[in-house]
Amino acid sequence: MKRQDWRNPRKANGMDAEQNPLFDGADLAKATSDPAARAEALRREIEHHSYQYYALDAPTISDAAFDSLMRELREIEAAHPELVTASSPTQRVGGYVGEQFAPVVHERRMYSLDNAMDLDELDEWMERTAEACGGALPPLCCELKIDGSSIALTYEDGVLVRAATRGDGTTGEDVTVNMRTVRDVPLRLRDEARAAIAPGVETLELRGEVYMPKKSFEALNAAAEEEGRAPFANPRNAAAGSLRQKDPAVTKMRDLSTFMYAIADDAALEVEGQWELLQWRRKAGFHVNPDVRLCTTAEEVRGFCRECLDRRESLPYEIDGVVVKVNDFARQRAMGFTARAPRWAIAFKFPPEEKTTLLRDITVQVGRTGALTPVAELTPVVVAGSTVARATLHNLDEVHRKDVRVGDTVIVRKAGDVIPEVLGPVLSLRSPEARIWEMPSVCPSCGSPVVRDPGEVAFRCISIDCPAQALERLLHWASRGALDIDGMGEEIVSRLVESGRVADVADYYSLSEEELASLDMGRVKADGEPVRLGHTVAKKLVAAIEASKGRTFARVLFGLGIRHVGKTTAEAIAAAYPSMDALSAAGEDELAGIYGVGPKVAHGMWLFFRTPDNTSVIERLRAAGVTMADEAVAVGEEVPQVLAGLTFVLTGTLAHSGMTRDEAGARLKAMGAKVSGSVSKKTSFVVAGENAGSKYDKAVALDVPVLDEAQLLNLLETGEVPREI
Ligand code: AMP
């Protein structure tokens, strides 16, 4: 594998000497000739990037480049052991303990992994391992290396009591409240798994990775862009950032998942090795990655690595390699740990996919809220298996921060192997003609002046008549997640807008089959006649428009494209205010009190209902027969009795949603549950809000499952009873 050459700053990921403290002027010459100075410079640089990565969730260099710095430092320290310092990054796991979460000192250290950068290095590790095991290669358990954030889950008497991040390996952060919102984390271990717990063991610490699926990452960044927030660099940073949210409701909406693969103390379970441990975890109720293989030869291990590299793209989550572990716990114990990592495991790292290409132009896209997004127009290049011709540059600050200019040769990467990203320019190839780009002062679609909201990165076209915005709003309304008008795609909507027949979403509902059938598609046939949409398509469209009237209220709300109101937020709002009338009458404070809705969203929504253009669209939608309330919830009829047979006891304050216990009780009853005032063995669930009292203690004593507020809301929304209970 080709390594980045960091001794040549020009090659380092398009970054130049000014941006990189390692290469500060005169230091450079000294650092390259004097190992002590070089090691110190590397340490400073690594510390800087560790902070960017772990504390700010905003790395500024690629993983490959970071690994390369680490390796160089390790090489220098190996050649000059006298230069090793206790605080050298080689002596600890990269990480940062933030201040907003309580620190958790890990009883057993959370180690990192040593890396093999290619198959030769993997072979070397296998040779060393065979030697350490008396000459023969022991069985090796091969797993995917999930690109997320490490997590340690502690269970006491089978109940989840704590979740902690890795932090610096010794001390992590307490993220229990947030991890509880991650759906695949069992809150209790299943009874079937208890038999294998060693006698006398009450506490189990299980470890794994929390990650964000590629799809959720894409959606999150698309929303960030729309709302003018900075996007996450990759799913790993998005997962880490989502885990460290102050508001657990935000974490919940981020759609995190876990794969669990390790135990802090293997003596706590009566299992012999990693393979068996994974089977046990599945039994205990954890999400365990199915792609594991127990290999007995080096060739099998290499084969598994190659297969995984090939399949990498098609997996719904990010992986950055394969972890190969000595399977047998007794052997693992015998091999032990270095200061940083276990000797009995190695991470075979996949090469990152980066390519260079020409930045031909930067164009501007106008979103449905008027946000202007610069887009890189590239000479098409194949990266990680697909052709990249365009890539978002997010906003003007980003264009300047990266210092990309029109005419530059740029490095392109598939961030998280999903979304193409322009990393930066190759400065040594910059031509004198390369042009610094600025945001246009008028909207490229309608020519109206462009403004920048104070405190936001996004520039906006604020004209309500902007056709580009109208087009995006109309497409959004018709999209799958919103009103789902099948067949209403960009070409037809553009023609409807250009013909002046459709200007806002309510206009869809007055379209006749006749009008649609005769819509001029802007092309001509061989005989010179204009191409028209025709009756077959028109008929289907009219039926699709009709069907869209019956969608849920949450979809209508989402479809309206209110600023900051994404799909999940719309669902949360519709659950609290299930009708347009109730919602439009709500005050800003009331809106801000909805679980998962912050003041910014509340303000945007409040304003939306006080803008005459919007209310008139809503009235026309109402007149057309589009859903304005969720009947079942609003009228109290036909709620599926999914909780029939279950008894709930509520205790504490439901601080996040602002619901009283009576209100929550009424909603549970509406779904068929019984609500009781005291806890007994027959109680199915105790719902514990903040400052829960003796009922909580009794629930724990009687082994009655306890739900927190987030789980209650989830249950009210989805009707799904939490797993494992
Ligand atoms: P690094 O962060 O590059 O030092 O890699 C080590 C990290 O890889 C561990 O701390 C884990 O968080 C992560 N990891 C992901 N998948 C696995 C796996 N299957 N086994 C062990 N570690 C894993």
Rounded distance, CA 630 to CA 114, Å? 54
- Pocket lined around ligand 1, Cβ cut-off 6 Å: 112-113, 143, 145-146, 150, 166, 209, 261, 323, 347
pLDDT digits (tens, 9 = 90+) for 394-452: 899 999 999 999 999 999 987 544 678 899 999 999 999 999 999 999 999 999 999 98
User: Would you list the DSSP string of 7-56?
Assistant: TSGGGSTT--GGG-GGG-TTHHHHHHH-HHHHHHHHHHHHHHHHIIIIIS
Predicted confidence at residue 317, as pLDDT, reads 93
Across residues 583-609, what is the average pLDDT? Answer: 87
SS (H, E, C) 103-169: EEECCCCCCCCCEECCHHHHHHHHHHHHHHCCCCCCCEEEEEEECCEEEEEEEECCEEEEEEECCCC
Q: How far, in Å, from the CA of 145 to the mean position of ligand 1?
A: 6
Global pTM reads 0.52
- The percent of residues above 70 in pLDDT, for the chain, comes to 88
pLDDT band at residue 42 using 50, 70 and 90 as cut-offs: confident
Q: Whose CA is nearest to atom 9 of ligand 1?
A: 112
pLDDT band at residue 114 using 50, 70 and 90 as cut-offs: very high
Q: For residue 149, which atom of ligand 1 is closest to its CA?
A: 12
Give the chain's end-to-end CA distance (angstroms, integer). Answer: 49
Predicted confidence at residue 331, as pLDDT, reads 96
pLDDT band at residue 623 using 50, 70 and 90 as cut-offs: very high
Amino acid symbol at 567 = K
Positions marked active-site: 145
pLDDT at 261 over 90: yes
Q: How far, in Å, from the CA of 214 to the mean position of ligand 1?
A: 18
Q: For residue 67, which atom of ligand 1 is closest to its CA?
A: 3
Q: How far, in Å, from the CA of 142 to the mean position of ligand 1?
A: 12
pLDDT band at residue 53 using 50, 70 and 90 as cut-offs: low
Q: Whose CA is nearest to atom 12 of ligand 1?
A: 150
pLDDT digits (tens, 9 = 90+) for 449-493: 999 877 778 899 988 789 899 999 999 999 988 999 999 999 999
Q: Whose CA is nearest to atom 18 of ligand 1?
A: 145
Backbone dihedral region for residue 158 (phi beyond 0: left; psi -120 to 50: alpha; all else: beta) = left
pLDDT at 127 over 90: yes
693 token code pair = 């009292």
Rounded distance, CA 589 to CA 610, Å? 15
pLDDT band at residue 385 using 50, 70 and 90 as cut-offs: low
Of 74, 91, 93, 113, best ligand 1 pocket probe by most atoms within 8 Å of the beta carbon: 113
Mean of the per-residue pLDDT values of the chain: 85
Rounded distance, CA 68 to CA 61, Å? 11
pLDDT at 328 over 90: yes
Q: How far, in Å, from the CA of 99 to the mean position of ligand 1?
A: 24
In the sheet with 115-116, reading across from the earlier edge strand, the strands are: 115-116, 345-349, 319-326, 140-146, 292-295
Q: Which residue has the higher pLDDT, 55 or 228?
A: 228
Of 323, 325, 338, 348, best ligand 1 pocket probe by most atoms within 8 Å of the beta carbon: 323
pLDDT band at residue 352 using 50, 70 and 90 as cut-offs: low
Across residues 140-166, what is the average pLDDT? Answer: 94
168-202 burial, b at 16+ Cβ within 10 Å, e below that, comes to: bbebbbebbbbbbbbbebbbbbbeebeebbeeeee
Contact present, 67 and 45 (Cβ < 8 Å): no
Q: Which residue has the higher pLDDT, 228 or 109?
A: 109
Q: Dihedrals φ, ψ of 271, to 5°? A: -130, 155
pLDDT digits (tens, 9 = 90+) for 285-294: 899 999 999 9
